[in-house]
Structure formats: structure tokens, C-alpha cells
Amino acid sequence: MRILFHYTHKQTLGHTTRTHALVKSLCRHKAQVLLLQGGLPQPFVRFPKECKILDIPEPFDDRRSFQWHQPPVSAVKRAQFILKTAADFCPDVFITEFFPFGRMPYIPELLPVLRFLRKKNTRIIASIGYPLIIDLKRLSNTKFAALHQALFAFYETFLIHTPGDLETTYIQNSIQSPILAQSYALFMKKLKKKIIYTGYVFPEKMMTKGTKISIKNKKNPTIIISRGGGSVYPKLITKAIEAQRLLDNNCKTIIACGPATTPKEMALFKACLKQKDRPRVVLTDHINNLDDVLKTCSVSVSLCGYNTSVQLMRFGTPSVIVPYKNNLSSASTNDQIARSKLLVEHFSSICLDHQNLTAKSLALAIKEQLRSPRPQPAPEKWFNGAEACTRYVMGR
């Protein structure tokens, strides 16, 4: 089976990690996968050797567009590249990652290939990590709503990578406007026949280089601080450096700033470390065995992105979460706000607001989690997303 897969990442890890796990599962089942990568290359990611990767020319998405959307550059050139690739490859299945639930700036480059492949009777499927409709507010505009509906009509199925409608419920409940919450509920209801909930896609090992961490002395507490890809919230790192001074001297703190951390940011973080901090603090851009560390650490401090949250749920790791809030976006909510409520209610996480975050509040939350019993891990059946997705794509 020939599968053409389109994704981008904005220099974060969530979309890359899910795509990597899905591609790896498809390759294990002998699919021939051609991956169209729409953002800046991430050289620290190792995809399966059986998967061919093509970088779409002139990427316009980077860490800046994590907070606001940059307009496409050379959309015509990118569209022609994708269209030619599709024509040459002749896929049985075309998969887009997160689009059309989000990534609307990609319409100019994806619309021609969607039309072309529809005429070829190619199966068109969306891989959706979480059921967040980014442009929910714009659906009140009749022209945009018509375009939105036309895009969704191209798709055979929307594979949503959550256990049932668990996150759908939390997203709807986190929308503060009753009108928009109702609009979201109606939209999801209309899509119901096309939606398959696969379960969470659990991250597979994909990092090259980076720092490998081994927690040898399990008697002394180990705190892991991570900010995902490293596109936002540098304050989390600086406050974590200060907070570890308020913990017991036996505590070891591992800080993963994220692979998108700029040299200037890393220089700032290193400058925040005092000489007395160095014996008990490890500061790195990324950890290549983060899953092992999250499984064995005493407390995790992180944003509330998909991948880290899924690992926290599976391992039952005590956690302090600082969900990302985009003050520049007009979106009515986001997946991290919704997911943070899930983690607080079902996995005893402590949620802190980034704007009001202090070293003291962070240290107090870590101490509270160190005193508390570990939460019960989520059921194993929650994490079969990659296999369920592969079965659907290849088994029909």
C-alpha cells in the first residue's frame, strides 16, 4: 500500500512525534510511506529507514508561528511540488496531519492535491491528535464556513487520537462562550459518522544525539523539567532553576529546554546557574530517552502538550503542569487548557498559571507532589492509537 503523508510541526515536538509513531507503525506493516514535511527540517528526528522524506520547499512555519500564523511564502511553488509528488507517487491513501481541524494557512498548497486525488478516488484521511477546531470563531462567516465545509467533504475519515471522546468533552467544557461551545458540539455531531477515536498515539523513540539520562540513585528525588520542543515559555526554565534551590539538597533536577531553544536562550539559562547549582542540575536542550526519565522520575514539571501528557498518564507520574495559553490567538480555547483539567481531575496533577509563576509557587507544588502518592496509571487500552490507526488505514 502506498501512503502519502503530509505534516508540519512549527518546531514543536507534538505533531512530529505522533507522525513518527504512525509512520513507524505503517512501515512495520509493510506500507510504502512517502512523508511530505512542511516545516523547517528537524535533523534530530530519526524516521524509519523504510520511509522516504521530502521537505516541501520554502517552509513558512517555524517557532514564531506557534503563537501566530505566518502567511505562506511561495504557496504556488509549494502546491506544484506537492501535486507533482502525488502524481508521480500515485498513493492509495493520502493522510494530512491536523489539517483541516487546524493549519488553515496550508489551504493554498493542499487544496489542489485534494482535488486531484479525489478525482483519482484516492482515500483521503486526516490524522487528528486532539479534536480542537482552531478556527471555530470564523465559522460565523458564511464564506469561510462554506470553504471549511468543502474541505471537510474531501475526507473519508477523521482519525482522532484520543480514547473515545474523552478530550472532546474537556475541550467543549473549556470553551467559555456558550454560543461557541454549542457551535463546537454541533460541528462534532455532524462529523460523528466520519470520526474514529483510535486511542492515544504513544511516543516511540525518535531522538538522535541529545542527552541520555540515567537515574541511578532512586532513593533521592529526581525532578524533570521539560518544555517540549522549546518554542515557548522560557520563563519555565528560569523559574525552575531558581525553584530547585528551594528544594532539599538531595534533589537532582534535570532541565530539558527543548531542541528549538535558540543559542541566546541557552546562554541565558546557563547564566542563571550558580556555581553551587551545578552538582545537582543537568541542563540540556533535549533528552533522547525522555520516556525512560518520565517513567522513573519523582516529579515531572512541564507544559501540558500531547506527548508528555500521554506519558504522564501511562506511567502514573506525579506532575506539575503549566498549560500553554496563547494570548495572541483568537481561538476560544486550546488543547493544553482542556487537557490540564483532565490531568488535574484524574491524575492528581497540580496546575500552575504561567503568568503568575514564581520560583516559590513552583517549589511548593513540587514538594506537595513529592509528599503525595503516585497516581494510578491510565488503562493500557488508552494507548493503542498507532496500531488502531494502522489497522484502519491498511485493513479496509
Which pLDDT band, with edges at 50, 70 and 90, does 217 fall under? low
When comparing pLDDT for 124 and 290, which is higher?
A: 124
CATH 3.40.50.2000 domain extents, the chain: 2-204+382-395, 222-379
CATH 3.40.50.2000 describes domain 2-204+382-395: yes
**Averaged pLDDT, 125-131:** 97
Among the residue ranges 51-55, 205-209, 236-240, 366-370, the one predicted with the least confidence is 205-209
CATH number of 222-379: 3.40.50.2000
When comparing pLDDT for 310 and 207, which is higher?
A: 310
Tell whether the model's pLDDT for residue 304 goes beyond 80. yes
Q: What local confidence, expressed as pLDDT, does residue 290 receive?
A: 86
Which pLDDT band, with edges at 50, 70 and 90, does 96 fall under? very high
- Would you state the torsion angle of the CA atoms of residues 326, 327, 328, 330, taken in this order, to the nearest 10 degrees? 80
Tell whether the model's pLDDT for residue 207 goes beyond 80. no
Q: What is the mean pLDDT of the chain?
A: 92
Which pLDDT band, with edges at 50, 70 and 90, does 187 fall under? very high
Tell whether the model's pLDDT for residue 37 goes beyond 90. yes
- Would you state the torsion angle of the CA atoms of residues 359, 360, 363, 367, taken in this order, to the nearest 10 degrees? 180
Residue pLDDT, tens place only, 231-267: 889 999 999 999 999 999 899 999 999 988 999 999 9
Tell whether the model's pLDDT for residue 67 goes beyond 60. no
